[in-house]
Chain A
């Protein structure tokens, strides 16, 4: 067994997504070998990001807030985020079209296409009973609350073209159906079973252009 501090580090690293026990061990020993100031840069970057960055109160994308200590600094559980992201603050963006995505990284993917000029709503996940994630665990209530207030006319469901993303889109479509809105789903052409994150810009751009209305 390792010293308790080393074991703690391995355990923490092992909790990160995509990192198994072996990789956790490898990273831990890499950090141990690094000069102090190099290793602490990582700790500092984590600290700063937790202090300054939180969720946009409107769309739940990543938003950079005022530095710690100032009023409205958001962050930890329980306290409502009080800041808005760059996109929500940008008045040139069309507020009547909202693109619904799963994760902040999908906002980046869609932005790269330069095909979309509306706003976003980040669900922060997709429906997946296997992982214990139902509609209640996503930012769906917050989406519904925005629609009328912001005068949204079209919702584009841009969840991943895989099974959970599709199921989430179908669920949202049935939820939004009674509302006076146009609901579209990005066209395929995206590889089924894929991730938006990995789609090239051209394919994703075309998929956005070719979006269609979802019946049921």
Chain B
């Protein structure tokens, strides 16, 4: 799939902007720090995921300064033979709205699946180096790209966890005050546990299946990204999804209930799981070099990209935000060499460190996007 044209209104730093990247190959967007390069990619990312790719709340996407109440992002593009026009409106006060090919959607979430992107940012290093949260998010984003329906499962797990935690906390206070557990608490907890067990188990299974599908692709991508860099025996990577419980989640929740009540948190569930990454025979998080970690982060993104492309039969749009500022020449070269053939939009404040065949250039000056 590819974007033909993008329009922004009151999105981040842009009052109005229009952007027409090359349909195939690399479009490079240049501009000094703070000009709005990441903002541009964030707008495209928003249409695909309905989230800020920096993880900021949606309201922060609306341009500040003169009281704009909504931001609008609109794109025209193609998905194989089909033409797609997607528009999303982010509102500070009322309900947000979205439409696809002129059809207003009943729920904004129904937009998911219309556009897929693969995003590379310097912060991706945290996928390998950071805590499990980032790795779960990586899997969940891919799940939604593959099957938009998983969005509902993910949202359900989050909501049920919130409710369960709220109940645990209030019950904990009652217990601490020496009032013991109200019978009500016991039976409502049963209900939340049943819901968490069902949704949590579904999510964990989906993630585990995904991790398995990614494994070979990540190993393959790693070998190519790290080619010439990796030592012998250290070019084998493996992925393994690790649940925070054994056996059935329903039973684990029951077993953990006492401790959960004492601590006022849910100690087992998909929100405590991790995607274990290994290079050679050691954990990548604690034993790999910075360079190896960077290569693995790239490999994870590439693996996701290839998987989505295969499964949905159309290549996601690649968004590379300032990625070459962090890579050494050999990794940068390797990445460019294994970049898939579709549309790629690359931002940079400086030069591309390596020679690349560029299909189109765009420049941002004084916050204005010039084609």
Residues of A bordering B, CB below 8 Å: 20, 22-23, 127-130, 132, 134-136, 163-164, 166-167, 170-171, 174-175, 191-194, 216
Known contacts A20-B93, A22-B93, A134-B188: A170-B194 contact under CB 8 Å:
yes
Q: Which residues of B contact A23 (CB under 8 A)?
A: 93
Which residues of chain B in 146-173 are interfacial with respect to chain A, using CB atoms and an 8 Å cutoff?
152, 155-156, 159-160, 162-164, 166-167, 170
Pick the contact of A171: B152, B156, B159, B191 (CB < 8 A).
B191
A129→B166 CA distance, assembly (Å): 5
* 179-235 of chain B: CB within 8 A of chain A: 184-185, 187-188, 190-192, 194-195
B: contact size bracket: 20 to 34
Q: Give the CA-CA distance A192 to B192 in the complex, in Å.
A: 17
The interface of chain B, by Cβ under 8 A from chain A, is 93, 106-107, 152, 155-156, 159-160, 162-164, 166-167, 170, 184-185, 187-188, 190-192, 194-195
Q: What are 17 contact pairs spanning A and B, CB under 8 A?
A: A22-B93, A23-B93, A129-B163, A129-B164, A129-B166, A129-B188, A130-B166, A132-B170, A134-B184, A136-B184, A163-B156, A170-B195, A171-B187, A174-B187, A174-B191, A193-B107, A194-B107
A174-B163 contact, Cβ under 8 Å, with A22-B93, A129-B170, A134-B184: no
Quick one: given A135-B188, A174-B187, are A166 and B166 in contact (CB under 8 Å)?
no
How many angstroms from the CA of A166 to the CA of B195 in the assembled complex?
Answer: 9
Q: How far is the CA of A130 from the CA of B160 in the complex (A)?
A: 10
CA distance A192 to B153 in the complex (A): 10
* B162 cross-chain contacts in A, Cβ below 8 A: 130
Contact B93 A191 (CB under 8 A): no
A-side contacts of B185, CB under 8 Å: 134
Q: In the assembly, what is the distance between CA of A216 and CA of B184, in Å?
A: 17
Report the minimum CB–CB distance from A178 to chain B (whole Å): 13
B167 adjacent to A129 (CB under 8 Å): yes
Nearest B residue to A128 by beta-carbon distance? B163
Tell whether, in the assembled complex, residue B195 and residue A163 are in contact, meaning their CB atoms are under 8 Å apart: yes
Give A17 to B33 CA distance when docked, in angstroms.
42
Minimum CB–CB distance from A117 to chain B (whole Å) comes to 29
- Please tell me which one of the listed residues B152, B163, B166 contacts residue A193 in the complex, with CB atoms under 8 A apart: B152
Write out the residue numbers on chain B whose beta carbons fall within 8 Å of the beta carbon of A166. Answer: 195
Closest 5 CB pairs of A and B: A129-B166, A129-B167, A170-B191, A130-B166, A163-B159
Overall SS of chain B's interface: helix
Q: State how many angstroms separate the Cβ of A128 from the closest Cβ of chain B.
A: 7
Task: Report the bound CA distance from A127 to B167 in whole Å.
Answer: 10
Which one of B106, B159, B187, B192 contacts A191 once the chains associate, using CB atoms below 8 Å?
B106
Contact B184 A130 (CB under 8 A): no
- Shortest A142–chain B CB gap in Å is 16
Assuming the contacts A129-B170, A174-B190, asked whether A193 and B155 have C-beta atoms less than 8 A apart, the reply is yes
Whether the Cβ atoms of A167 and B191 lie closer than 8 Å is yes
Q: Give the distance in Å from the alpha carbon of A193 to the alpha carbon of B110 in the complex.
A: 12
Whether A192 pairs with B152 at a CB distance below 8 angstroms is yes
Bound Cα distance from A22 to B93, whole angstroms: 9
Residues on B with C-beta less than 8 A from A128 are: 163
* CB-contact partner of B163 in A20, A22, A130, A216, under 8 A: A130
Contact of B160 among A20, A22, A132, A163 (CB under 8 A): A163
The answer to whether A163 and B163 touch (CB under 8 A), given A20-B93, A170-B194, A191-B106, is: yes
User: Is there an interface contact between A164 and B106, defined as CB atoms closer than 8 Å?
Assistant: no
**CB-defined contacts of A171 to chain B, threshold 8 Å:** 187-188, 191
Shortest CB distance B12–A (Å): 21
Which A-chain residue is minimally distant from B149 (CB atoms)? Answer: A192
A174 to B183, CA, bound (A): 13
Task: A193 to B152: give the CA distance in the assembly, Å.
Answer: 8
A192 to B160 CA separation, bound complex (whole angstroms)? 14
List of A residues within 8 angstroms of B106 by Cβ: 191
C-alpha spacing A23/B167, complex, angstroms: 32
| Contact partners of B184 in chain A: CB under 8 A | 134-136
Q: Which of B152, B162, B188 has the most CB of A within 10 A?
A: B188
Q: Closest approach, in angstroms, between the C-beta of A163 and any C-beta of chain B?
A: 5
CA distance A114 to B106 in the complex (A): 24
Q: How far is the CA of A171 from the CA of B190 in the complex (A)?
A: 8
Extra contacts besides A23-B93, A170-B195, A193-B156 (14): CB < 8 Å: A22-B93, A130-B163, A130-B166, A134-B167, A135-B184, A135-B187, A135-B188, A166-B195, A167-B163, A167-B191, A171-B188, A174-B190, A175-B187, A193-B152
Q: How far is the CA of A20 from the CA of B69 in the complex (A)?
A: 14
Q: Give the Cβ gap from A28 to chain B, nearest Cβ, in Å.
A: 16
Q: CA of A138 to CA of B166 in the docked complex: distance in angstroms?
A: 18
Complex alpha-carbon distance, A174 and B192, angstroms: 13
